[in-house]
Structure 1
Amino acid sequence: MEYLLLFFIGVVATTIGTLAGGGGLVSLPAMLFLGMPIHSAIGANKVSNAVSSFSSFFTLYRRKQLTLKECSWIVPFSLGGGITGGLIAAQLSPENLYIIAITLMAFAFITSFISKGNPAGAEPLKLTPVSGTGLFGIGIYDGLFGPGQGTLMLYLFSYLKVAYVKSVGLVRFATFSSCFGAAISYILSGAVIWPMTLALMAGSVTGAQLGVRIAEKLNPIYVKPILRIVTALVIVQLIADNVM
């Protein structure tokens, strides 16, 4: 029964995560509720995220929604930011990490109402001072804390007027890049409980494909409202975790 639950958790979390980010805020608490040890739950999340992210990215790449040229330069900025964020995190208390995360998500939420960015745009993603700095900064946030990283990237791409479906593929590629190394680390440490992880992974791959198909048909006018809802839920979750 718990394997079936993990499958559906993977479907729901990854569908949401593909469309608007924040899927980890669904899957991780759910796995902890089912009694998985924290390191095993995080490991399962990283492994399933790496596989499902590549699955959705490859689907969009195969359909020529994006090119490797647009994706390749993202990796050093995301990884460099993640490493920097990890080093900074070691110097900060958990309370300060929560404050930084809540402040950044609140800032993204507020600016979404005043930004002129358009998820229906058709601009290619290019390396510019704004895109490079933005991706490096989001990488720092991912290394510092993590939840909502995909949502922040979708806001950035919207601001840069990158088409929504292309943005989804770019975010999933960045997520694969950041999760792959972490997944290897958790596997080598022996923290991964494979039967439960495989059940979550099967649901995550299903959710990734479902999310891609919904994204391709989603009217761009609904993208920002969905992002705002997910952002608000992330903020509420972060505040609740900090209070508890």
Structure 2
Amino acid sequence: MEIGWDIIALLSLVGLCAGFIDSIAGGGGLIALPAILATGMSPLAALGTNKAQCIFGTITATYRFAKAGLVEWRYITPAIIGAAVGACIGVWAVQSVSPGGLKFVIPLLLLLAAGYFLFSPRMHDEDAHRRLSTRGFTVAAAGLGFYDGFFGPGAGSFYTAGLVALYGMGLTRATAHTKVLNMTSNVIATVAFSIAGYPVWKVGIAMGLGQIAGAWIGTHYAVRHGAKVIRPLIIIVSLGLTLRLLLDPENLLRQFVVERFL
């Protein structure tokens, strides 16, 4: 399909906004994926292109957080491996299984994540007691990597919630390590989608340039302001993504509520 350069320029601006939000709270797919689908791409091409443009932002954010001394590579390496394996399986699965079932449960999980970030007293920058071993969190990271490869939107919020609630990290450190895991699953998913020939690279690169600018600005704010900026944005993104999914007439959870209660 042919996409005009005027549309590509607009998509680059979309990438900037998505990169800013994604670098702080995750959920940039809430903005990017619908914009890509609006070009008329097939769902798999849109998913592949979305992953391709995401890697620019997550690599930039990871670099910025690492430069600020917030990433402990040895500490997070097992979870990186888990996320990579999970993402591979997720990309394989999405090419043969409808994501309709996931669309039923994801709004519920996002509401739980928003509630956790809103009401938990642990939403600060102080580390806390770990509730999962390194091996246990590696398994959790594999599950989240699978979701990121299979569907994606909201993965950053889930990674951050897991790092805070289960791995005992303060919110800013959790956000930094989320970018590492997000980068891992995005890169793996992009490679897998590319092998299958799905990404539209001129769109992915144009949006990726916007992602770099957005991620650079977003990580600056996250490092400078910490939990007082990260917490409200995660809550807003989680609730916004929930609403976005429930507005889809084909969402199974929406259909269930309409049929039973309306």
Structure 1 equivalent of residue 161 of structure 2: 155
Counting only pairs closer than 5 Å after superposition, residues 124-163 of structure 1 correspond to structure 2 as 127-128=133-134, 131-132=137-138, 134-143=140-149, 145-159=151-165, 160-163=167-170
Q: Extract unaligned runs of 5+ from structure 2.
A: 1-5, 256-262
Q: CA offset at residue 87 of structure 1?
A: 8.0
Corresponding residue number in structure 2 for 1:173 = 180
Question: Partners of 1:55 and 1:101 in 2: how far apart?
Answer: 27
> Which amino acid letter does the alignment assign opposite residue 120 of structure 1?
D
- With normalisation by structure 1, the TM-score equals 0.84
8 Å CA contact 1:28–1:41 kept in 2: the answer is yes
User: AA paired with 1:217?
Assistant: R
Deviations for 1:34-64, whole angstroms, at most 9, x for unmatched residues?
3344333322221121232122212222332
Match of 1:106 in 2: 111
Cα distance in 2 for partners of 1:175, 1:208 equals 13
Partner of 1:53: 58
TM-score, with normalisation over the residues of structure 2? 0.79
Q: Which residue of structure 2 aligns with residue 35 of structure 1?
A: 40
Q: Does residue 1:204 correspond to 2:184, yes or no?
A: no
Alignment pair present for 1:3 and 2:16 = no
Moved more, 195-204 or 61-70: 61-70
Structure 1: unaligned runs, 5 residues or longer: none
User: Closer, same or farther in 2 for the Cα pair 1:166/1:79, shift >3 Å?
Assistant: same
How much has 1:8 moved relative to structure 2? 0.6
Matched, 1:118 2:123: yes
CA RMSD of aligned residues (A): 3.0
Look up the equivalent residue of 2:33 and give its one-letter code: L
The count of corresponding residues between Structure 1 and Structure 2 is 244
Assess if the C-alpha contact under 8 Å between 1:6 and 1:199 holds in 2.
yes
Identity of aligned residues (%): 23
Q: Is the 8 A contact 1:97 1:144 kept in 2?
A: no
Query: Aligned letter for 2:66?
Result: Y
Cα distance change of structure 1 residues 129 and 43 upon mapping to structure 2, 3 Å threshold: closer
> Whole-Å Cα distance in 1 between the matches of residues 88 and 195 of structure 2?
20
Q: 1:91 to 1:36 in 2, by over 3 A?
A: closer
More deviation in 101-110 or 194-203? 101-110
What corresponds to 1:67 in structure 2? 72
